Structure 1
Amino acid sequence: MKFCDECGSMMKSGEGEDHWVCDSCGNEIGRDDSDDEWTTQSQVESEIVDVSDAEDKGLPTTTAQCPECDNDQAYWYMQQIRAADESETRFFVCTECEHKWREDDH
């Protein structure tokens, strides 16, 4: 990324990519080899990891009775779903059947 010395706006590569051009004031300057190290993108190989069957959802667990299967363990998290001056709603997800339910503070 290069900024214009004249107006401070961000400059873009000109045609042929051998110079920088400012869209705001039209200032043009030549590019040197050190500019390429900041503007080129490298290819990074990524591996897709399937975690759909993973037991740990990254959420804390607690003792809570599932209304569907009567399991006594559930993951839980809090989420603000009402006005900011209202309390958060606690959601539970059963560790066995993945049934989801919520508990509101009244």
Structure 2
Amino acid sequence: MEFCDDCGSMMKTEGDEWICGSCGFTKIRDEAKEAAMVTTEGQTESEIVDISDAEDQGLPTTNAACPECDNDRAHWYMQQIRAADESETRFFICTECEHKWREDDH
């Protein structure tokens, strides 16, 4: 991938040149530099590992009363579920029964 020296936009290749679609700036392609670039074509997929039954969920824990089993510890995470100008919602997962609830649930 190459970026325009003039405007910073991403450039495309056409023949032996890089051409900026925004401002029209062109420069000659450098084969040695392009050979060193990492492309998605050269990458391999890694194996998908199922961690759904893992003991440690990798999430931080806090004091929170589970509405299902009254346990006082829960993992938590934040997630944007509304518009970008709205605040994130905090979700909890009980460390005992794995019940999931969100902060504004009553």
Tell me the TM-score normalized by structure 2: 0.55
Bigger Rg over Cα:
1
- Runs of 4+ residues deviating >6 angstroms: none
CA contact (8 A) 1:61 1:73 kept: no
User: How far is 1:49 from its partner?
Assistant: 0.7
Counterpart residue type for residue 30 of structure 2: D
Could you say what secondary structure the match of 1:36 adopts? helix
How far residue 47 of structure 1 moved from its aligned partner, in angstroms, is: 1.4
- Report matched runs for 1:74-93 at 5 Å: 74-77=73-76, 92-93=92-93
Give, in whole Å, the separation in 2 of the partners of 1:67 and 1:96: 12
Q: Report deviation, 1:53.
A: 0.6
Task: Mark the CA change 1:67 to 1:24 in structure 2 (over 3 Å): closer, same or farther.
Answer: closer
Long gaps (5+) in structure 1: 80-88
> Relative to structure 1, is the Cα distance of residues 69 and 38 closer, same or farther in structure 2, using a 3 angstrom cutoff?
same
Q: Which position in structure 1 is the counterpart of 2:98?
A: 98
CA positional deviation for 1:92: 4.2
Q: Match of 2:73, as an amino acid?
A: A
Structure 2 spans left out of the alignment, 5+ residues: 79-88
Q: TM-score, normalised by structure 1?
A: 0.55
Query: What is the one-letter code of the residue matched to 1:93?
Result: I
Structure 1 residues 48 and 2: CA distance shift in structure 2, 3 A? same
Q: What do you get for the CA RMSD once the two structures are aligned?
A: 3.6
CA distance in 2, matches of 1:61, 1:24: 48
Query: Do the aligned partners of 2:59 and 2:77 also contact (CA within 8 Å) in 1?
Result: no
Work out whether 1:49 is the aligned partner of 2:49: yes
